[in-house]
Amino acid sequence: MPVTDNSAGKTGAAPEGARARDRLALLTADNAAVPLPAGVQAITAILLAVLLIALPWLGLGYRFLSIAITTLYTAIGLYGLGLQFGQAGIMSVGHAALMGVGAYASAILSVQLGLGLWASLPFAMALSAIVGGVIGLPTLRVGGQHYIIITFCFCALFVIVLTNGGTFTGSATGLDVGSVTPLPGINFDKLSNNYYLVLAALFLAVVATYLIGNSRYGRTLRAIRENEQLARSVGINVDLHKLGVLMVSGLFAGLAGVLQLYYLRHISPTLFGAFPSLYLALMVMLGGARYLYGPLIGAVVVNFLPEVLNLDPVDSRIAYGVCLLLVILLLPGGVGAGIKNIYCAITGGFETQKQRGSNGRA
Amino acid sequence: MAALEVRGLRKQFGGVVALNGIDLDIDTDRVVGIVGPNGSGKTTLFNVVTGVHPATGGAVFWHGQDITNIGAHRIARKRLVRTFQQAMSFPGLTVDENVRIAWEQGRKGDGRWASPGMILEFVGLAPLSKAIAGSLPFGSLRRLGLAVALGVSPELLLLDEPGAGLNDSEAQAFAAVIAQLPPQGIGVCLIDHDMDMMADLCDRLIVLDFGTKIAEGPPGEVLADPKVREVYLGPDKKAAAS
C-alpha cells in the first residue's frame, strides 16, 4: 500500500529564514537514535584511545595527570549512570553514594581482613549492585521524580551512617588503605601506572556500554525509556529490567569507587555526599547520557573547567550552573550531541537523517 | 474450544461498572469486530484481557489456560498482543528499531518474519525505516503501531480503533492490510466506530453497551438487530433511520 508521508518535500520549498531555523534545529537536536557509519565510529575510538594512552607521555605534569585520573574513574561511574539514565531513562542524584558503597566495602575489607584491591573488587562491585537494586525497589511503585528524591535521601543517609560508624567506617575521618597490590613488573605507586590501571577499567566500561547499547538488552532498556506501557505490551518485563539496569549501573559504580579509593588511598564520607552526587548528575547531562562518549566528555568538562579557567570552588559551582542551563536550553542531548551534529553538518551526514523535528528527547 | 475465552469478566473503577459479566469466545482464524457507543467498555475489555488493568471478577482463558491478571508482558509473550487507541510508539527511536524491539521479544518472528524489515515491508513502512518514530505523520504512526504488534508474532491481535484519526483512503488501505492477517494464521479482534468498514471486514460482530454484550453474530444480522439500532441511534429516531 502507498506511503503517504506528509512531511516529505517541505524543507525544499522553505524560505531562507525557515531554512536557517531548520539548520539550527538540526545542530541542537538529539540524534542519539541515528547511528554514525561504522568507519567513523572506529576511527573515533582509535583516535581517542591513542590520545588517552599517550597522555602521560605528553609531559603535562603531575597535577594534570592527577586530574586526568580523577576524570577517568569518575567517568567509569558515569557510564553506569549513563546506562540507567541514557538508556533506561532512570535519573539518580545519589550516584556518588553508590560509588561510596564500593569504595567503603573495599576499604573495610582491607582494614578488617587485609584484602587488597584485586581481592576486594568483586565483593565491592557486587555490594554496589545489590544496594543499587534495593534503592531501585521503590521505583517500581513510584514514578521517576520520586526515585530521584529517594536516591537523594539514600545519599544523605549513607553519609550519616558512615559518619556514625565508629572505627568500622572510620567516622568523619574516614579510612586509609595501602597501595595497589603490584602486578608482576608493574608498580602502581607510580602515578602513570595508576593512570593506566584506571584507563584499562574505563576501556572495559566503554566497551561494555557499547556492547549493551547495540544489543537486544540495550534496545529493551530504550523501549522502557520511551514507552513503558508499549514495552509491556510487546512482552518486556519492565519491572525486572528496571531493577536489572540499576544493578548493572551499581557494578560500574562499585568499580569506580574502588579505583577512587586506591588512587586517593584515603576516603571520608564527604566524598560521597550530596554535592559529589549532584556533580555526577551534572556531568552525565552535560556530556550527553545517550552518546557513547558523553559520560567521558562530561567528566572531562567538569573536572578540567576550574583548572582551565582558574576558578576557585565557589566560582566553579556558578560556572557549572551556567553550563547546565546552557546545555538544557541549547543542547538537550548534551555536548556529545553537539559534537555529533557538527560532524554531521560538515560531512553532510544529515542527508540520511533529514526527518524534521526528530527531537529524540523522551 | 475457542482460543480466547472470556468468562463473566467484570471490571469496576470505584463505583463505575465498566465491564459487567462479559462472556466471549474468539477464534484466531477470522476477524471479529467489537462495537458499541462511547463508554460501553470496549477498550476496558481489551485492557483487562491483556493485563493492563486487573480484573475485578471473572476469568480470561487463552488456549484453556487461565491468564487472568498474570501481567501484561506475560500475556504478550503468549502471543496475545494488542495495539493502543492512541497510536503508541517508542517515539525517540527509529522505525526500524521500534519493530526490532518487538521482533526480538517475539522470538525473532517465530519463523513468520525473518527480519523486522519484512514486517515494515508488509505494512508499507519500509521506505521510512530510518525515520524517527516521533516524527512520523499520523497515518504512518498507525501503521507502525500495527508493525510493532506484528513483531511479537501474535496468534491473536487485538486492535483498538486502528482507523481512528485516519482519512478514508488511509483507513481503507489499513483495512486491506488487516484483512490479510487471518489467512496467515493471525486472528484479529478489532474495535472501531466505522460501521461500513466493520461490516466489510468482520466475520462476526459483538456489540457492547454499558459493559454487557447485547448482540453477537454475522455483521448483517447484528446491525439489523433492533436492540443494536436503539443503542446506536436512540429509541426515538428508530423509525426515521429505518
Within an 8 Å CB–CB cutoff, is residue B39 touching chain A? no
Write out chain B residues lying below 8 Å of A34, CB-based.
94, 130, 132
Separation in Å, CA of B153 to nearest CA in chain A:
10
The string over A149-174, giving b where at least 16 C-beta atoms fall within 10 Å of a residue's C-beta and e elsewhere, is ebbbebbeebbeebbebeeebbeeeb
Q: Concatenated DSSP letters for B75-117?
A: HHHTTEEE--TT----TTSBHHHHHHHHHHHTTGGGGT-SSHH
pLDDT given for residue A328 in this prediction: 85
Contact A234 B151 (CB under 8 A): yes
Task: Specify if A14 maps to a domain.
Answer: no
Task: Specify if A359 maps to a domain.
Answer: no
Name residue B5's beta-bridge partners.
B25, B61
**Residue A12 pLDDT more than 70?**
no
Rounded-to-integer distance, Cα B205 and Cα B42, Å: 12
Place of cell 560509588: A99
Residues making up chain A, counted from first to last: 362
Contact A135, A246 (CB under 8 A): yes
Contact B81, B158 (CB under 8 A): yes
State how far the alpha carbon of A290 is from the alpha carbons of A33, A361, B49, B51, B140, in Å. 9, 10, 36, 31, 26
Sheet of B16-26, strands arranged across: B16-26, B4-13, B57-62, B65-66
Q: The C-alpha cell of B223 is what?
A: 446491525
Q: The C-alpha cell of A57 is what?
A: 607521555
Contact A358 B134 (CB under 8 A): yes
Write out chain B residues lying below 8 Å of A236, CB-based.
73, 101, 105
Q: The C-alpha cell of B146 is what?
A: 500495527
Task: Specify if A116 maps to a domain.
Answer: yes
Residue of B nearest to A224 (CA): B90
Looking at residue A72, which CATH number applies to its domain? 1.10.3470
Label residue B108 by pLDDT band (50, 70, 90).
low
Contact B94, B125 (CB under 8 A): no
**Among B167, B4, B105, B192, which residue's Cα sits nearest to residue A233?**
B105
Contact B92 A216 (CB under 8 A): no
Q: For the segment A16-46, what is each residue's pLDDT rounded down to a tens digit?
A: 667 777 777 777 777 777 778 888 889 989 9
**Among A258, A302, A300, which residue's Cα sits nearest to residue A279?**
A302
Contact B73 A238 (CB under 8 A): yes
* pTM of model > 0.90: no
pLDDT given for residue A342 in this prediction: 84
pLDDT given for residue A31 in this prediction: 76
Task: Phi first, then psi: give them for residue B22, nearest 5 degrees.
Answer: -95, 135
Packing angle between helix A191-213 and helix A294-308, nearest 10 degrees? 140
Question: The domain containing residue A46 runs over which residues?
Answer: 42-351
Where is mean pLDDT largest: A139-153, A222-236, A316-330? A222-236
Q: The C-alpha cell of A24 is what?
A: 539550527
Interface of A with B (CB under 8 A): 1-7, 30, 32-34, 216, 219-220, 222-223, 225-227, 229-238, 352-353, 355-362
Write out chain A residues lying below 8 Å of B50, CB-based.
233
- DSSP3 helix / strand / coil % (chain A, rounded to 5): 75, 0, 25
Contact B177, B142 (CB under 8 A): no
Task: Specify if A71 maps to a domain.
Answer: yes
Contact A7 B170 (CB under 8 A): no
**Among B143, B154, B142, B188, which residue's Cα sits nearest to residue B75?**
B154
Task: Specify if A35 maps to a domain.
Answer: no
Question: Nearest Cβ partner of A220 from B101, B136, B152?
Answer: B101
Question: Nearest Cβ partner of A235 from B52, B77, B124?
Answer: B77
Q: For the segment B9-47, what is each residue's pLDDT rounded down to a tens digit?
A: 999 998 899 999 999 999 888 899 999 888 899 999 999
pLDDT given for residue A6 in this prediction: 43
| Mutation for A interface: B77, B96, B105, most A CBs within 10 A | B105
Number of domains chain A is built from: 1
Write out chain A residues lying below 8 Å of B51, CB-based.
232
Enclosing H/E stretch for B204: strand B204-209
Q: Percent of chain A scored above 70 by pLDDT? A: 91
Contact B135 A353 (CB under 8 A): no
Contact B112, B151 (CB under 8 A): no
Label residue A4 by pLDDT band (50, 70, 90).
very low
State how far the alpha carbon of A213 is from the alpha carbons of A32, A35, A83, A236, A353, in Å. 11, 11, 8, 17, 20
Write out chain A residues lying below 8 Å of B130, CB-based.
34, 352-353
What's the one-letter identity of residue B18?
A
Distance spanning both ends of chain B, measured CA to CA: 38
Where is mean pLDDT largest: A181-185, A186-190, B120-124, B164-168? B120-124
Rounded-to-integer distance, Cα B155 and Cα B185, Å: 7
Task: Specify if A107 maps to a domain.
Answer: yes
Q: For the segment A170-229, what is each residue's pLDDT rounded down to a tens digit?
A: 889 999 998 888 888 888 888 899 999 999 999 999 999 999 999 999 999 999 999 999
Q: Concatenated DSSP letters for A346-362?
A: HHTGGGGG--TT-----
Which residue pairs from A187-196 have beta carbons closer than 8 angstroms and sit at least 24 positions apart in sequence?
Answer: A188/A262, A191/A56, A191/A62, A191/A65, A191/A66, A191/A69, A192/A56, A192/A65, A194/A69, A194/A262, A194/A263, A195/A55, A195/A56, A195/A65, A195/A68, A195/A69, A195/A72, A196/A53, A196/A56
**Among B219, B222, B224, which residue's Cα sits nearest to residue B238?**
B224
Strands (DSSP E) contained in B14-164 are: 16-26, 31-35, 57-62, 65-66, 80-82, 156-160
Q: For the segment A64-121, what is each residue's pLDDT rounded down to a tens digit?
A: 999 999 999 999 999 999 999 999 999 999 999 999 999 999 999 999 999 989 999 9
Contact B73 A237 (CB under 8 A): yes
Enclosing H/E stretch for B239: helix B238-241
Packing angle between helix A335-347 and helix A294-308, nearest 10 degrees? 110
Q: The C-alpha cell of A252 is what?
A: 560500574
Which of B 146-205 lie inside 8 A of A, CB atoms? 148-149, 151-152, 170, 173, 176-177
Separation in Å, CA of B106 to nearest CA in chain A:
8
State how far the alpha carbon of B7 is from the alpha carbons of B20, B47, B55, B75, B190, in Å. 11, 15, 11, 17, 19
Task: Specify if A1 maps to a domain.
Answer: no
Tell me the pLDDT of chain B averaged across its residues.
89
Contact B234, B240 (CB under 8 A): no
Residue of A nearest to B121 (CA): A1
Contact A196, A70 (CB under 8 A): no
Separation in Å, CA of A272 to nearest CA in chain B:
33
Rounded-to-integer distance, Cα A286 and Cα A301, Å: 8
Q: Which of A167-176, A339-348, B1-10 has the lowest mean pLDDT?
A: A339-348
State how far the alpha carbon of B81 is from the alpha carbons of A353, B156, B207, in Å. 31, 6, 21
| Mutation for A interface: B78, B132, B143, B174, most A CBs within 10 A | B132
Rounded-to-integer distance, Cα B116 and Cα B150, Å: 10
Contact A358 B170 (CB under 8 A): no
Task: Specify if A225 maps to a domain.
Answer: yes
